[in-house]
Structure 1
Amino acid sequence: MVPRAAPAGRRRPHRVTLSSRQALALAALAGVVHTASFAPLNAYWLQPLAVAALVLLLRTATPGQAFVRGWAFGSAWLASGLWWLYISMHDFGGLPAPLAAAAVGLLALALSLYLAAAMAAWARWRSGRPMADAAGLAGLWLLAELARAQFLTGFPWIASGYAHADGLLAALAPWGGVYAMGALATLLAALLVLGRGASANACRLLAMGLLAGLMALPQHFTEPAGELTVSLLQPAVPQDLKFDPERLGANMQALQQQLHAASGALVVTPESVLPIPRDLLDEGYWAGLTAPFRQGDRAALIGTFVGNERDGFVNAMVGVQPGASPDYEYGKRHLLPFGEYIPPGFRWFVDLMRIPLGDQASGHHGASFAVAGQRVRPLICYEDLFGEDFADAVVGPQAATLLVNASNLAWFGRWMVQDQHLQFSRLRALEFQRPLVRATNTGATAVIDHRGVVTQRLPAWQEGTLDATVQGRRGDTPYARWLAAWGLWPLWGLAAALLGAMRMGALLAGRRRVAP
């Protein structure tokens, strides 16, 4: 049989064939581009483009190829977004540089296995029906992010939805939260590149319809609940001097002066601003430090450790205010692996590092801290990545009207980590429509309003006090209500429904192929 010639004036499309190494390199490059979509660059539009590039690399891949390419994408994304962990392990933990670099790389590889498995499943189950395949990809992406956020205590740093704290997809925050935002971004990216001809046009129309529907969603669920003046302390103590015995006394005296000079109705210090547990402090020092808040009209949340050697020490915020006895205590519950608790089997690794109080006990939270008509919910360091842990505190008649984060990011150097954490805090404010204020040792000390907008911020790595007036909010967002009631289970259900849509597409495609 003689092949039919192409019609005059038309050329066959030229298909570029990539080698396995080239595809792997492009997947890794797309992962690095994905990281660029987050703070500090805040190029949120790069996030769906990076995912679209990954989809193109997977469109004709076998499940094995999809696993490896998804793994390369995820590993490059997380390694380039978490490289600052090297600083804590090498510069302050004392690990040899090769071992610290290997530890960051292995962590990225391990956390990316969720995404790799999800991409392999997509390659195995895709049907060739663009809309169904796009839905399935979004569902599998959502499953991978939920797994990383919850399994083995969870580590959801730079989950994809955080890139959209700015931009159109932020409108989904009070309805579905950060993981739903990441799933929607994946769905839109897939719709952009899947399909040909009429099916491609239909996919793009669907994407535009989804965005139009998102813009039509109601956005206002909370109302003003009064104002509170706050003073947020930033001592700017370098991490290598924080526990230095020769500097400890001077640091603690400087803290007392800064704390006493603050004028807000609520004064907030960073976490562990007192590196000695409260019960081991000189009684005279603690009494003098807290004396201005035992009378008058000011209150303070002070970062320290509570507990003892037998029961363990808890990273805590201690609230002091006139007429209150005993003092309010909030203890950190969601501990950082390797920095605050030791996972089973890793004692040897943590013992290689010189991290003070590196094996802590989990705390308790109790009620919010009531100050001047506001109800304040403290959060310590990366606890504000886990909205499901404190959603119950922002719903109902006794809900918190203000969120307060106390952090010390000096462990991780000067680049990227401060801006990333600030971006994550902004999304919590958007999800719950609550103002969130941050008191940190070296940055980012800032005030975020209920719309997720940073209204004030101190320069990083400079000693100072940020004075601001914050408007508390009351009312429940839809996301807060269902998250408080059911946790993240509705999102697992959404992922299952999206996967069901893809499987249905595969069944329909199969029936069409066997039809007479």
Structure 2
Amino acid sequence: MSVALGAGVALGQVPFGLHIVALAALCGVLALLVRQARARDGFAVALFAGAGHFALALNWIVQPFFVDPWVYGWMAPFALALLAFGLALFWAGASALAVRLARPGGLRLLALVAALALADLARGYLLTGFPWALFGHLALDTSAEQLAALIGGYGLGALVLALCALPVLAPKAGTAASVAVLAGVLLWGQQHARLAPSEAGEAPVVRLVQPAIAQSLKWNPEEARANFDLLMALTESPLEAAPALALWPETAVPYLMTEGEGAALALGGLKIPVASGYQRVEGDGRQAWNSFALFGPGGSIGPSYDKVHLVPFGEYIPFGDLAYRLFGLRAFAAQQGAGYTAGRKAELMDFGPALNGLLGRARVLICYEAIFPEEVWTEERPAWILQITNDAWFGTLTGPYQHFAQARLRAIEQGLPLVRVANTGISAVVDARGQVVADVSGAPALMGMGARGVLDVALPGALPAPLYARSGDLPLVVLLLAALGFAAIGRGARERT
């Protein structure tokens, strides 16, 4: 029962979109938890519900193991089970705490809502964090996602839990109240989505290049020249506008780059300036970075950014040098040494000086960094967000769609336009409300999975910083901790009487 209900909750995640089924299933999970007599029983129920949820929602995690199936394929089922039960521990620990704090009834439900919402927050930070398939993500692809401008993705999760707790507390009145609140949120979201961004004046046009190179071919030395030539040809394909900049995906350049030579010199000779993901190395090549840079005339390498928030085991392995020497273990995505080195600081990348003042300062996010709300924040507010990624690792069924939806959520939270450039999809430009805009031809500025081509799109403007961009998650944390404290005090008062 618990596993089935947890899987039902996952059906509300992108791209399944069965939101009503997911909300009903989450009501069922809370109904089971609210009547558990002991903390360990609550732990067990939530553990299996969480495992069902994460196994279905994160089924794409098996895909990287099948890029080289003869070597890694056997690991896939173990990886899925370990990830599903590992993440389910957050649900289980939160539920055990709530059961221990409060007796069955309204206070128990309050404690469950607060504890589970805090568990999602903790999941975004502990052990480098993995805030994927959150409760708040059940609102994605509905107008309710617009509320993230006020309360963020974690706040959306607390709201979803609260709406599902009301019918458990009072089936008739609670259901009516939940439906009324949900309808209000959806209507408000529709209105908010119509807000016009600030005037951008003569908006510069950017060209998004999506080469659709299969992961199995991406690092094949025999395919390197063909892959590079494909990217070059797409970049200089017939123009529908006059792009200020061409953007290539994460690690698009298949060569090591030396300023003024080779591939850097070839990029500098194109008619359009190119900014691309590439591997940056120093010294003997043992130290490498997952980087992004603007390539200029004469093969110069201009403003750049090194990825700060790396993927555990995907881009680095804890104690990686030792594991590489002793066992030959290396991170999946790294092509140099045992893994990548983290960048030192998240800073804005200034395109202005190299592009005659066009485009300005952007917050560059490389792949996985876009799932973290806090990664967007810098001392100075950027003019736009740029995400480069290679989602070819994650198949074509669920992972890339979830990743794109989370990137859109960052645009809503910050009130900033987002440009997303992917190797195999999804590449798109969305405005400061998270809505896909039109390209210069008037068609939707989006290339789906497996599509090959370019998009020429005028960069949308920004909105004034919304509430969430100014306050972050601290108000939510204080509110949830207060709710837990109230539940605990309420139990103590009852026991004394």
Question: TM-score by structure 1 length?
Answer: 0.83
Q: Deviations over 1:334-368 (max 9, x none)?
A: 10110101124893788177653451011244333
Q: Note if contact 2:292-2:305 (Cα within 8 Å) is conserved in structure 1.
A: yes
Q: Quick one: percent identity of the two aligned structures?
A: 30
> Structure 1 CA distance, aligned partners of 2:402 and 2:188?
29
Task: List aligned pairs for 1:193-342, cutoff 5 A.
Answer: 193-195=168-170, 201=173, 205=177, 208=180, 212=184, 219=192, 223-226=198-201, 227-261=203-237, 263-279=242-258, 283-292=261-270, 298-308=272-282, 309=284, 312-320=287-295, 327-342=302-317
CA separation of 1:202/1:385 partners in 2, compared to 1, >3 Å: closer, same or farther?
A: closer
Deviations 1:253-302 (A, max 9, x none): 222222233652221110000132323x8813311212236xxxx54321
- Offset, 1:481: 1.2
Of 143, 149, 159, the residue aligned with 1:184 is 159
1:101 partner amino acid? P
**Cα distance change on mapping 1:214 and 1:81 into 2, 3 Å:** closer
Equivalent position to 1:410, from 379, 384, 392: 392
Of structures 1 and 2, the one with the larger relative CO (CA 8 A, separation 6+) is 1
| CA distances 1:296-350 after superposition (whole Å, capped 9, x unpaired) | xx54321111132467211111023579976000111110110101124893788
Larger Rg: 1
Aligned equivalent of 1:60, options 31, 35, 38: 35
Alignment check: 8 A CA contact 2:314 2:331 kept: no
Query: Does residue 467 of the first structure (1) align with residue 456 of the second (2)?
Result: yes
Q: Give me the whole-angstrom Cα distance separating, in 2, the residues matched to 1:477 and 1:170.
A: 14
Correspondences of 1:53-452 after superposition (within 5 Å): 53-61=28-36, 62-92=38-68, 94-130=70-106, 132-167=107-142, 169-195=144-170, 201=173, 205=177, 208=180, 212=184, 219=192, 223-226=198-201, 227-261=203-237, 263-279=242-258, 283-292=261-270, 298-308=272-282, 309=284, 312-320=287-295, 327-344=302-319, 347=323, 351=329, 355=333, 356-357=335-336, 359-363=339-343, 364-371=345-352, 372-392=358-378, 399-452=381-434
- 8 Å CA contact 2:416–2:432 kept in 1: the answer is yes
Alpha-carbon deviation of 1:134? 3.0
Question: 1:307 aligns to what SS in structure 2?
Answer: strand
What CA distance in whole angstroms lies between the structure 2 residues aligned with 1:509 and 1:210? Answer: 33
Unaligned runs of 5+ in 2: 353-357, 438-444
Given that residues 221 and 476 in structure 1 are in contact (C-alpha distance below 8 angstroms), is that contact kept between their aligned partners in structure 2?
A: no
Please, which of 463, 481, 504 is the counterpart of residue 489 of structure 2?
Answer: 504
Task: Give the RMSD, CA atoms, in angstroms.
Answer: 2.9
Question: Does the CA contact (< 8 Å) of 2:260 and 2:298 recur in 1?
Answer: no
The residue identity in structure 2 corresponding to 1:126 is: A
Give, in angstroms, the shift of residue 187 of structure 1: 0.9
CA contact (8 A) 2:260 2:300 kept: no
Worse-matched range after superposition: 262-271 or 65-74: 262-271
- Partners of 2:274 and 2:294 within 8 A in 1: yes
Q: Residue 132 of structure 2: SS of its match in structure 1? A: coil
| 1:402–1:380 distance in 2 versus 1, CA, 3 Å | same
Check conservation: 2:294, 2:301, Cα contact below 8 A. Answer: no
Decide which moves more: 26-35 or 96-105.
96-105
Contact 1:222–1:474 (Cα < 8 Å) also in 2:
yes
Could you tell me whether the CA contact under 8 Å between 1:133 and 1:505 is conserved in 2? Answer: no
- Bigger mean CA offset, 448-457 vs 136-145: 448-457
> What SS class does the counterpart of residue 460 from structure 2 fall into?
strand
Aligned in 2, Cα 1:475/1:350: closer, same or farther, shift over 3 Å?
farther
Structure 1 residues 387 and 292, CA gap change in structure 2 (3 angstroms): same
SS of alignment partner, residue 327 of structure 1: strand
TM superposition shift of 1:107: 1.7
SS in 2 for 1:275: coil
Shift in CA distance, 285/60, structure 1 to aligned 2, threshold 3 Å: closer
SS in 1 for 2:462: strand
Q: What amino acid is aligned across from residue 362 of structure 1 in structure 2?
A: A
- 1:122-152 per-position Cα deviation (integer Å, ceiling 9, x unaligned): 222223442x333322210112111111001
Q: Which residue of 2 aligns with 1:32?
A: 7
Taking structure 1 as reference, are residues 203 and 497 closer, same or farther at Cα in structure 2, changes over 3 Å only? farther
In structure 1, the residue matched to 2:442 is none
8 A Cα contact 1:161 1:180, kept in partner: yes
CA distance 1:299–1:163, shift in 2 (3 Å): farther
In structure 2, relative to structure 1, the CA distance for the partners of 1:128 and 1:86 (3 Å cut) is closer
| Over 6 Å off, 4+ runs | 213-218, 322-325
Question: Which amino acid in structure 1 is aligned with residue 429 of structure 2?
Answer: V
SS in 2 for 1:471: coil
| CA separation of 1:112 and 1:101: change in aligned 2, threshold 3 A | same
In 2, are the aligned partners of 1:228 and 1:472 still within 8 Å (CA)? no
The more displaced of 352-361 and 310-319 is 352-361
Letter in structure 2 aligned against 1:289: L
Deviation at 1:401?
Answer: 1.9
Shift, 1:49, TM fit: 2.1
The number of residue pairs the alignment matches comes to 470
Q: CA deviation at 1:208?
A: 4.0
1:140-172 Cα shifts (integer Å, max 9, x gaps): 011211111100100111212122123353242
Encode CA deviations 1:468-489: one digit per residue, 9 max, x unaligned: 2231215211111123xxxx44
Mapped contact 1:129–1:509 kept (Cα < 8 A): no
In structure 2, relative to structure 1, the CA distance for the partners of 1:93 and 1:302 (3 Å cut) is farther
Of stretches 237-246 and 341-350 in structure 1, the one that deviates more from structure 2 is 341-350
Change (3 A) 1:392 1:222: farther
Assess, with a 3 A threshold, how the Cα gap between structure 1 residues 171 and 347 changes in structure 2: closer, same or farther: same
Read off the aligned partner of 2:365 and give its amino acid letter.
Answer: L
Is the Cα–Cα contact under 8 Å of residues 14 and 141 in structure 2 kept in the other structure? no
Query: CA 1:386–1:80 in structure 2 vs 1: closer, same or farther (change >3 Å)?
Result: same
2:355 is matched with: none
**Displacement of 1:251:** 1.2
